[in-house]
Amino acid sequence: MDADYLPFHPNPSNPAFKVPLGAVDAHCHVFGPAQQFPYAPERKYTPCDAGKNKLFALRDRLGFARNVIVQASCHGRNNDALVDALNTAGDLARGVAVIDPAITDEELRHLDAAGVRAVRFNFVKRLVDSTPKSVFQGIAERIAKLGWHIVVYFEAPDLEELIPFLSSLPTTVVVDHMGRPDVTKGINHEDFQRFIRLMTEHENFWTKVSCPERLTVSGPPYDDVVPIARELVDLFPDRVLWGTDWPHPNMKSHTPDDGQLVDVIPRIAASPAKQQALLVENPMRLYWG
């Protein structure tokens, strides 16, 4: 692993908040182990191994029933570690893959049979080399036929340029980590309002109200991120998802405690009905429906 890489928390606290029965952690990853599933040569970071058994142990410890496992950039377009985790989990996990445009129909069917239900388009420059939008368009048309959707990861300053492309996508589009707002600018800033308009004008857009640990300036317990996430849950209660983002790659400021992250949930989804939608109904509809 990289010399400055912060490994995941070895012993997260038990959250005070009890997630509802059937709750889904809708954004998490598996990394390696590298000996079995080597990291991609084109990767921008080398993480600490964080394999499927550790992920499933965390799921059980925090009280979640299911996972949506998202292919991370350190594994490039080789989804073997993801598929292996999905095969082990059976119906308890679904996957989001990153695919090569040259993928065959047979390989797509193989991913679908393993439980993949979406592809991820990553626009974050520190994580990936850029992919032409025409390539993403081609992938979008192919995966739409399988009934899959698209997960996009970008940072707030890039949203304006991306809007025409994102709006043209033919499937449900899930935006990772609330479009990575600068939380110091607050809810009323044009950048966050632009994201709200995108969600308002396009009913096929969803977002993950996740990653306070990445967006925070003040640090745990993430008071500065709560109002932003709560606004999205209040405005779009049936189009929001939540995930731990375990094992939290590329953290620099602190090692997140997953129990503490779970305790953010009742602060952003204040009623049992909103918690049920965020953690059970929405992810079940999108990934198991």
Kindly state whether residue 245 participates in binding ligand 0GY, applying the rule CB under 6 A. Answer: yes
Q: Does 67 bind ligand 0GY (CB under 6 A)?
A: no
Q: Is residue 83 a contact residue for ligand 0GY (CB under 6 A)?
A: no
Q: Please state, as a whole number, how many other Cβ atoms lie within 10 Å of the Cβ of residue 174.
A: 26
Q: Is 249 in the site for ligand 0GY (CB under 6 A)?
A: yes
Nearer to ligand 0GY, 122 or 207 (CB): 122
Number of residues that bind ligand 0GY (CB under 6 A): 12
Of the candidate residues 79, 250, 275, 282, the single one contacting ligand 0GY (CB under 6 A) = 250
Identify whether the C-beta of residue 180 lies closer than 8 Å to the C-beta of residue 158. no
Q: How many CB atoms lie within 10 A of CB 218?
A: 11
Using the rule CB under 6 A, give the single segment among 3-11, 72-80, 99-107, 221-229 that binds ligand 0GY: 72-80
What's the closest the beta carbon of residue 57 comes to ligand 0GY, in angstroms? 19
DSSP bridge partners of 139: none
- What DSSP assignment string belongs to 115-143? TEEEEEEE--TTTS----HHHHHHHHHHH
Contact status: 30 vs ligand 0GY (CB under 6 A): no
User: Which amino acid makes up residue 114?
Assistant: A
Interface residue with ligand 0GY among 1, 127, 144, 284 (CB under 6 A) is 127
Binding residue (CB under 6 A) for ligand 0GY from 30, 62, 74, 118: 74
> What are the residue numbers of the active site?
245
Side-chain-side CA neighbours of residue 173 (13 Å): 26
Q: Which residues contact 45 (CB under 8 A, 6 or more apart)?
A: 2, 5, 73, 74, 127, 249, 250
The distance of closest approach from Cβ of residue 179 to ligand 0GY in the complex, given in angstroms and rounded to an integer, is 12
What minimum distance in Å lies between the beta carbon of 266 and ligand 0GY? Answer: 23
Burial track 138-162 (b if 16+ CB lie within 10 A, e otherwise): ebbebbeebebbbbbbbebeebeeb
Binders of ligand 0GY in range 130-189 (CB under 6 A): 153, 176
Q: Minimal distance in Å, beta carbon 170 to ligand 0GY? A: 23
Residue 159 tokens, joined: 């949203």
Residue 1 touching ligand 0GY (CB under 6 A)? no
Q: Which stretch binds ligand 0GY (CB under 6 A): 31-39, 71-79, 198-206, 253-261?
A: 71-79
Q: Does 213 bind ligand 0GY (CB under 6 A)?
A: no
What is the total residue count of the chain? 289
Q: Which two tokens stand for residue 70?
A: 């998202």
H helices of 151-241, where? 159-168, 190-201, 212-215, 226-235
Which of these, 92, 172, 166, 178, lies nearest to 136 by C-alpha position?
166
Q: Which of 12, 49, 69, 73 binds ligand 0GY (CB under 6 A)?
A: 73
Applying CB under 6 A, which residues contact ligand 0GY?
A: 29, 72-74, 122, 127, 153, 176, 214, 245, 249-250
